[in-house]
Structure 1
Amino acid sequence: MRTRIVTLAVVSAAVAIVLFGLPLAVAGALYAQQYKILDLERQAERAAVRVSLALTEGDDPTEDDLDDVGELTFRSVYDTDGQLLLGRGPETGDQFVDKANGGRVSTGSLNGELVAAVPVIDAGDVVGVVRVSGSASTLLWPVGLAWIGMIGLAGLAIGAVYLLARRQAARLAQPLDQLSTAAQRLGNGDFSVRLPPVEYAEIDAVGSSLNRTASRLDDLLARERAFSAEASHQLRTPLTSLRLGLESALERADDDPRPALLQGLRSTERIERTVEELLTLARDTHGAVDALDVGALLAETRGQWSAQFEEQDRPLIVVVDPQTPPALASGAAVRQVLAVLLENALVHGQGPVRVSARDAGDAVGIEVSDRGPGITLTDAQLFTRRSPSATGHGLGLALARRLAEAEGGHLRLARPSPPQFALLLRAATSV
C-alpha cells in the first residue's frame, strides 16, 4: 500500500509538472526569441541612422558605421538592388532584405538564424537596407539555462513529493497496520483489543466498529465464563443437600424411603430452577421486568431454605413490612442474590438469620443478618471475585452485587458486626 501511495503521488506530481512546465517552457522560449529579435531590430535601426548620410550622398558606409554595443551579431548594409555593400551577410539580399527594400521592417528566423532588416530612408525614399542577424542557438542560450533550471526545480519538486508521500504513506499505513493487527488478534480470540482514535475519520469509523465488536464478544465470553463459575457455585449447596439426603436414606435401609425421595425431588427442582435462572441472567434474555411482589418472593425463599437452617438448629426469620412496595427487578436475579446471602449466613454465620423487607423511600430494602463473627474485609475485598478455593463471605458476593447492579439496585455491607447485608431495589412506585 505504501508503495502504491508513493508511486501515485510521484506520477501525479510528474504529470502536473509536465502539463504546467512544458507550456511555460515553450512560452518562455518564444518570449526570449521575440525579445532577441526586437534587440536585433534596435541594433539595425541604430546602424541605419549612422549609414543613412553616406548612402544619401552616394558614398560607401564604413566599418565604424556598423560598430555597435551588441555582441554575437552580424551587421551588413545592402543597396536598393539587394547587393551587399558592407558587413557580413549573404552576397545577395534574402527575403528580409527584399521586404525591407519595400519600406517595411522585416524580422524573423531562417535556417537557425534570427534576422532583423530595417530600411534606410531619405526624404521618403529607401536608399538602402541594414541587416542584423545572429545564430538562434547563440542568442537564446539563456533559454537553455532557464530550461535546465526548470528541470532541476522539477526534480527537486518530485523529490520533495516523494519524501512527503513516503511520510504521509507511513502515517496513513500505520493505523491500517494497527487495524489489521487488531483484526488478527480479534480473530485469534483476544477480545481485549482496542484501537485508539486517529486523525482519519474513515479509519476511526472502522476502528470504532471493531472496538464495539470486540467489546460485545468480550462481554459475551465473560458472561459465559461467569455463568460456568456462578453455576458451579450456586449448584454446590443443593447438590450437597441432595447427596447427603440420599446417603442418609441408604444408611437407614429399613426406614421408609419416601421422605428422602421427596426431599431429593425438591432438591432436583431447585437445581433445575437455579440452572434456568442462571442461564437467563447470563444471556440477559429476561427483558423488561414487571413489578415484583417482595413479600411473596421472601415467603418462597423461606420455604426453600428453612429446612436447611433447621437442621443446624438455626431459625430463619422472615419479616415483611406491610408498607413494602413492589420492586422493579427480575425475580430470578433477586432469588440468586438472596441465595448467595443465605448460603453465606448458613456456612459462615451463627445464630438465627433474619431476612426483612421494608420501604426505603424510593427503593425497596431487603436486609439479611445473622449473629456470626464480624467481617474484617473492606468493601472492595468483600465483593471481589476470588478463586474457587477461597473461603469466607466473599465467595459468591461478587456475583450477587453484579446481579443487583444489573437490575438497577445495589448490594452493600450495612453492618460488619454482627454481619448485615442490605439489598436496595428500585420501587415500582418510584417510576
Structure 2
Amino acid sequence: MRRRIVATTLLAALVAIGLFGIPLAVAVSQYYVTAERAELERAADGYALEVSADILRHRAPDQVPATEDPTFVAVYTPAGAQLAGAGPQTLDNADDAVRAGGVVVADTGDELVVLVPISDDGTVVALVRAATARTEVFQRTVLTWLGMAGLAAVALLSAYVVARRQARRLARPLERLSATARDLGDGDFSIRAGRAGIPEIDSVGESLDSTAVRLDDLLARERAFSADASHQLRTPLAGLRLQLEAALEDPETDLREVVLAGIGTTGRLDRTVTDLLALARDTPPVRDAAAVGEELAAIEQEWAPAFAGRGRSLVLTVEPAVADARLSGPVLRQIMTVLLDNAARHGGGTVTITVRDAGGALAVDVGDEGEGVESGTDVFSRRSPGAHGTGIGLALARRLAEAEGGRLRLGRLRPAVFTLLLPLEQ
C-alpha cells in the first residue's frame, strides 16, 4: 500500500510538472528569441543613426561601430551590396526589405537577422543588417531549461518525501487495523483498535471494536447458557433417571404413573431450557402466572423426599394474605430450585420456606440451621461449579430474579437466610 501511495503521488506530481513545465519551456524559448530580436533591432537602429549622415551624402561609412559579440552589423545598398561592416557580401532579401519600408525580421537557418532601412523622403537609400548566431540563444535557453529541470527535480523529491510520510501515516493505522481484525478472527475479543486521528480510519476502528464487544458478549452468553443449563438440568435429569430405574426394578410399579411423572419432569425441563435461553438472549421469559401457595406446595412435595433421605425436614409457611397472589411460576420454580439445592448441599438441619407480604412485593425467605456464610464472602459471584459454597446456581438465581424485576439477597449470614423479592402479578 505504501508503494502505491508513493507511486500515485509521484505520478500526479509528474503530470502537474509536465502540464506546467512544457508550456513554460516553450514560452522561455520564445521569450529569448523575441528578446534577442529586440536587441538586434536596437543595435541596428543605433548604427543606422550613426551612418545615416554619410549615407544621405552618398558617402560610404568610414567604419562600423563596435558591437557586443557575437552581434554582427553591416550596411547595404538597396540592391544588396555591402558598404561596410561584418556580414555577407550580398544581401539576398534586400528587395523584400526595401518594399516593406520598415523593420524586417529575416532569420536564416543559423542566424537571427533584423533589417532596418535608412530612408530619404520615403525612399530607402540603405539597409542596416544586425545578426547573431542561433546557438547563443539556444545556449541561454538550455541553461534556463536546466534550471527548470533542477526545480522540477526538487519538486519531485519534495513530493516523494511528503508521499512517504503520508503513506506511513495512512498505512500504519490500516496495518494495525488488519492485525486487530486478524486477532479478532483468532478469537481475541479483548483486542481494541487504536485511534489514528483520521476520521475515516477511526470510524472503521470503532466498528471493529463494537464487533469485538458484541462477539464477546454473544460468546459469554453462550458459555453462561451452557453452564446454567448444565447446572439446572443435572439434578432433575438424575432424579428422572433414578425414578425410571426404580420402576424397572419393581415389577409392581404402575408404569402409567411413572410415565406421567416423567412427562411432568420433562415439561419442567423444557420450561427450564426456555427460561435459560430467554435469559441468555436478553429476551423476556414466558410468564406463566401461578398462585404462590399452590406453586410452593408443589415444590415442597418435590423436594421433601430429598431432604428426608438426608434426615432433614422441609417446612413451608405461607401467610394467608399472599397465598393466592400470582406471579411467574416458572421463574419462581427455577429460583427455588437453586436455593433449595444450595441448602441441601451446604446447609444443615431443618430448611424453612416463609412466604410473606413485603408491601407490594412477595418476599420468600429460605433458611436452614447450618453454619451459614463466612463474613466477606460474595456468595453470588460466578465461579467454577466445583468451588465450595458458591458457583453458578446463586449467580443464576440472582439474574433470574433481576430479569423479573425482583431481587435476591443474603438476608442473614449465620445461619444463612436468603430473601427473594418478586413483583406480584396485577
Tell me the TM-score normalized by structure 1: 0.79
- Residue of structure 1 equivalent to 2:313: 314
The answer to whether residue 53 in structure 2 is matched with residue 53 in structure 1 is: yes
Q: Which amino acid aligns with 1:413?
A: L
Q: What is the CA–CA distance in structure 2 between the aligned matches of 1:215 and 1:73, rounded to whole Å?
A: 85
Q: What is the CA–CA distance in structure 2 between the aligned matches of 1:369 and 1:400, rounded to whole Å?
A: 15
- Residue of structure 1 equivalent to 2:217: 219
The alignment partner of 2:334 has SS state of helix
Counterpart among 366, 375, 380 of residue 383 in structure 1 = 380
1:375 Cα offset (Å)? 2.4
Q: What is the CA–CA distance in structure 1 between the aligned matches of 2:211 and 2:236, rounded to whole Å?
A: 38
Determine if contact 1:345/1:353 at 8 Å carries over to the other structure: no
Aligned CA distance change for structure 1 residues 38 and 248 (closer, same or farther; 3 Å): same
Q: Which amino acid aligns with 2:23?
A: P
The alignment partner of 2:107 has SS state of strand
Q: Which amino acid aligns with 2:272?
A: E
Deviations 1:398-420 (A, max 9, x none): 32333444455544334434433
Q: What is the CA–CA distance in structure 2 between the aligned matches of 1:406 and 1:280, rounded to whole Å?
A: 10
Alignment of 1:318-333 (within 5 A): 318-319=317-318, 322=322, 332-333=330-331
- Residue of structure 1 equivalent to 2:116: 118
- With 387-396 and 309-318 compared, the bigger mean Cα shift is at 309-318
Determine if contact 2:78/2:125 at 8 Å carries over to the other structure: yes
- Residue of structure 1 equivalent to 2:352: 353
Deviations 1:280-303 (A, max 9, x none): 523638656558457265455444
RMSD between aligned residues:
3.9
Alignment of 1:3-18 (within 5 A): 3-18=3-18
Q: What is the CA–CA distance in structure 1 between the aligned matches of 2:221 and 2:304, rounded to whole Å?
A: 31
Alignment of 1:10-29 (within 5 A): 10-29=10-29
Determine if contact 1:101/1:119 at 8 Å carries over to the other structure: no
Q: What is the CA–CA distance in structure 1 between the aligned matches of 2:93 and 2:329, rounded to whole Å?
A: 114
Q: Which amino acid aligns with 2:7?
A: T
Determine if contact 1:97/1:106 at 8 Å carries over to the other structure: no
Aligned CA distance change for structure 1 residues 205 and 50 (closer, same or farther; 3 Å): same
The alignment partner of 2:313 has SS state of coil
- With 24-33 and 168-177 compared, the bigger mean Cα shift is at 168-177
Q: What is the CA–CA distance in structure 2 between the aligned matches of 1:218 and 1:427, rounded to whole Å?
A: 35
- Residue of structure 2 equivalent to 1:33: 33
Q: Which amino acid aligns with 2:24?
A: L
Determine if contact 1:198/1:204 at 8 Å carries over to the other structure: yes
Q: Which amino acid aligns with 2:155?
A: A
Deviations 1:332-354 (A, max 9, x none): 44533332222212322344323
Q: What is the CA–CA distance in structure 2 between the aligned matches of 1:419 and 1:275, rounded to whole Å?
A: 31
Tell me the TM-score normalized by structure 2: 0.80
The alignment partner of 2:102 has SS state of coil
Deviations 1:167-220 (A, max 9, x none): 333433334434444444444444444434555555555555554554444333
Unaligned runs of 5+ in 1: none
Aligned CA distance change for structure 1 residues 237 and 109 (closer, same or farther; 3 Å): same
Q: Which amino acid aligns with 1:104?
A: G
Aligned residues: 420
Deviations 1:18-44 (A, max 9, x none): 122111211222122212221221222
Q: What is the CA–CA distance in structure 1 between the aligned matches of 2:100 and 2:112, rounded to whole Å?
A: 20
Q: Which amino acid aligns with 1:412?
A: R
